Amino acid sequence: MKSFKEYIAYPYGLWMLIFIAVPLLVVIWFSFLSNPDFKAGIYTFTLNNYQEFIDPVYLELLYRSFLYAVIATLICFFIAYPLGNLIVSLPAHRQNLMIVLMIIPMWVNFLLRTYAWMVLLSGSGLIAQFLGLLGFRDVSLLYTQSAVILGMVYNFFPYMLLPIYTSLKKIDPDLLRAATDLGANHFQMFVKIKLPLSLPGIVSGSMMVFMPAVSTFVISNLLGGGKYMLIGNLIEQQFLTLNNWNFGSALSMVLMTIIFLVLGLARLITGKELDTGGQIL
C-alpha cells in the first residue's frame, strides 16, 4: 500500500512532466528538423543544425560566453568568501541582518536592477561624475565588456554568497578551537579545515552563478549595447528575430549539454572532497 507521501508527490511529478520534460523533448525534436512543414506533415530529420554550430563565429560566441561567466564567477567567489567569513564571525542577530541586506536587491525585478546600472554607468551617471571629480574625463563605462561582467556579478552575487555562508556556518567552532590549541595558524586552519568543509558551498555557489551567467542575454543587451554578443543572445535571436527554431533549439541543446557536463564535473569534485574530508581532518 502506498504511503501518503507518495500520493502527494504525484502533483509534483505531473508538473515536472508537463512543464519540464515535454518542453525539453519538443526542443530536442526541433533541433533535428530542417524547415518542417507542419501543415503538410513534412518532417525532414537532419544533423545540419548541429553541424552549423561548428562555424568559428558561433564557437567564438560560446568561448566569450564561458569566459565572461568564469570571470564573473571568480569575482563573486573572491568577494563572497571573505564576506561570508566576516558574516559568520558576527553575532547571530547581525548575521541575519547582513543576509537580509544582501538579498534585498533580489526583491527588485531583474530588468529594473540592470536598467539601474545603465543609469549609473552612463556618461551623466553618478560613477562618471565621481570619476570626473578625480580628474578622469570622458570615461566610457557603459556598453563595454567590463559593464557586462559587472552586471553579471551584481545580479548573481547573492547566489554565491548564500551557499558559502551556509557551509561556513555549519563548521563546528570546536574544530577551529582544537586546531588553535594544537598550534595551527590562520592559514593552516583555512587550508586544513575551512576550505575542505566549505568546498560544497563553493561549488554550489559557483554553479549557481556560472549557469545563469553563461546563458544570459538581457545583461549583454542592455549593458553591452549589443556589441558583445553571447550565446544567449544568439539563441534569443534565432527564436524571436530570425524565426529559426531549429537552429535555436540545436544551440540550446549544445549549451545545455555543456552545462550538464560542468555540473557533473562539479559533482565529482565535491563528492571526492566529501569522501576524503575525514582523512584531511
What is the per-residue pLDDT across 178-212, written as a single tens digit (0 to 9) for each?
988 888 888 888 888 899 999 999 999 999 999 99
Q: What is the pLDDT of residue 182?
A: 85
Contact between 180 and 171 (Cβ < 8 Å): no
Average pLDDT over residues 10-16: 84
Would you call 180 helix, strand, or coil by DSSP? Answer: helix
Give me the domains of the chain, ranges plus CATH numbers.
57-280 (1.10.3720.10)
Distance CA 35, CA 232 (A): 22
- Alpha-carbon span 201 to 194, nearest angstrom: 11
Q: What is the DSSP letter of 102?
A: H
Look-up of cell digits 557551509: 167
Tell me how far apart the alpha carbons of residues 59 and 66 are, in angstroms, rounded to a whole number. 11
Look-up: residue for cell 554578443? 229
Asked if 101 contacts 270 with a C-beta cutoff of 8 angstroms, the reply is: no
Predicted structure pTM score: 0.88
Q: How many whole angstroms separate alpha carbon 241 and alpha carbon 207? A: 30
What are the two backbone dihedrals, phi and then psi, of residue 42, each rounded to the nearest 5 degrees? -100, 120
Residue 132 has pLDDT above 90, yes or no: no
Confidence (pLDDT) at 173: 87
Give backbone dihedrals phi and psi of 157, rounded to 5 degrees, phi first: -55, -45
Instruction: State percent of the chain over pLDDT 90.
Output: 57
Mean pLDDT of 13-29: 90
Residue 219 contacts residue 152 (beta carbons within 8 Å): yes
